[in-house]
Amino acid sequence: MDGDAINMLEKIEQKVLNFINLHNLLPDGAKILLAVSGGADSVALLKILVGLKLAGRITNDFHIAHINHRLRGKKSLEDEEFVKTLAEKHNLPVSIERIEVKKYAKENKLSIETAARNLRLKKLTAIAQKNNCSCVVTAHQKNDNAETIIHRLLRGTAFKGLAGIRPKSVINLSAGALAKADGTIFIRPLLCLNRKEIEDYLVSQNIKWQTDHTNLDCRFTRNRIRHRLLPLLQTCPPGQNQSYGDLVELLFVLSKKGFAFSEKIERLTKAAWKECIIEQSAYSVSADIDRFNNYSPLLKVEIIQNALRHCGVGLQKITNVHYDRIIKFLMDNRTGETLQLPNKAIIKKHLSARAEQKSFYLGFFQNHSYKPSPVKLKIPGSVCFANWIIETEILPADKCDIELVKKKKNNFIEWFDFELIKPPLVVRCRQQGDRFKPFGLGVSKKIGKFITSAKLDLDQRKKTFLVCDIEKTLWLAPVRRSSEAEITNKSKSLLQIEIKSHF
């Protein structure tokens, strides 16, 4: 290796190491998964990290993953064999996965690009988990970052889109996960290099790589940006000598500033979330309406987005128009009204914003025309009813401290004298004319009138249901039990019924 090649090797490895340390990307001693396609970027990623490992500058172990998209026939198989050979040469374990991108794209009505990305992320996550890898390392570089920002601008983006590709992110493929702590960490240590630096490095070290000719196909948006739009933007207008600088570098600087701004907004959003969110279930979020209305429009949008993610809603079809409608709806204080939002994928449920006197709800609510059928309780056992899981258990009274049981009671768990119940027990929706004896009153009352006098808001009313035996109503859940089958010191066995929110 001549002097220029050695200098190039040292320069590139040092630049990547500095970037890794700056962003704290690689946990010391952790096993990491390297996503290697066989192209120039991923081959450089492998070579650079292996070089840093051999020099004792990082302490990680590697496992290689290759995803065969099966889009290029024989060429895809050649890429697969190339990566296998590369792994053997470096004595590294390798996992190969083949995916059916075209079939997945057709079944889910996605573009080939989106389908390939979704399946690739799923497979990489699964391989990382199976092989106890703490993170997935991908070979995104500065040009990818520039193309991503331009792509987002073309589709319409907010400030987050200007952050480009982040050096480290957590991707959770499970719906309904606001907190991303359980997701997979993806890190991108080559974001400090551009495409030319990477290819010059590989050539100087006499390292071969595979070429994917579909990257030249300008039917794909990213390829049009790469081969047509970016070069055009880099070219000075005719008759002018003005130089605009390297657009890839300019967009990298912009993405760093966007990333810093995004992090600040995320911190403010977390603080606002803690301050104004009242209750979270698997399918809805409620918040203090006065506190929410005091936030800036930017924070309001962030809180709404967090609430939608918490409920498992993809944000692709939620536009600025919808955010503006929700914010205006809540500012107008339209108590008791509901604003419907688009979500064609939801059956028998509606994505809605609903305003109450001092709070608002955002999430999924039962369609007014949909009522779940009655369900017979398993004793002991567990059943599902609407958005609830209902669990029952029989407890011997002589082994229970009755007074302690009463002290532990809340709206979601009740105890009844099992000897005074006439099975079967059924859970069902309320019906016109239903009556019960509210605990503490001792007289029969229409359930509708009781709910009105209890001043339950619209969401609370819709969550209520009845637990009945063959003769009587035992519980208007989760509001008030009846005085029927009350436990006493003479009770021999107790029936415990506990309800839990369930999406």
- Give CB contacts under 8 A, 24+ apart, made by 436-439: 436/466, 436/472, 436/473, 436/476, 436/482, 436/484, 437/482, 437/483, 437/484, 438/476, 438/480, 438/482, 438/483, 439/480, 439/481, 439/482, 439/483, 439/486
The tens digit of pLDDT for each residue in 134-149 reads 999 999 999 999 999 9
Q: What is the pLDDT of residue 402?
A: 66
pLDDT of residue 4: 82
Strand ranges inside 122-243, DSSP E: 135-137, 168-171, 184-187
pLDDT score recorded for residue 242: 63
Q: Which distant-in-sequence residues (6+ apart) come within 8 Å of 187 by Cβ? A: 25, 26, 32, 135, 136, 137, 138, 167, 168
- pLDDT at site 321: 83
Strands, sheet with 284-288, edge to edge from the N-terminal-most edge strand: 277-280, 284-288, 359-366, 349-355, 338-340
Single-letter residue type at 354? R
Place of tokens 């000719």: 213
**34, two tokens:** 């390297």
Sequence spans of domains, the chain? 3-234, 281-366, 375-501
**SS (HEC) of 88-104:** HHCCCCEEEEECCHHHH
Reading the block at residue 440, the tokens are 């503490």
pLDDT at 347: 33
281-366 has the same fold as 3-234: no
- Kindly give the parts of the chain with pLDDT less than 70: 1, 173-182, 237-244, 282, 336, 342-350, 365-371, 402, 404-408, 458-459, 501-503
The pLDDT value recorded for residue 437 is: 92
The 3-class secondary structure across 209-240, one letter per residue, is CCCCHHHHCCCCHHHHHHHHHHHHHHCCCCCC
Report the top-level CATH class of 3-234.
alpha beta
- The CATH class, in words, for 375-501 is alpha beta
In this prediction, residue 171 carries a pLDDT of 86
The pLDDT tens digits for 112-136 are: 888 899 999 999 999 999 999 999 9
Check residue 282 and give its pLDDT: 67
Question: What is the topology classification, in CATH, of domain 281-366?
Answer: 3.30.465
pTM: 0.68
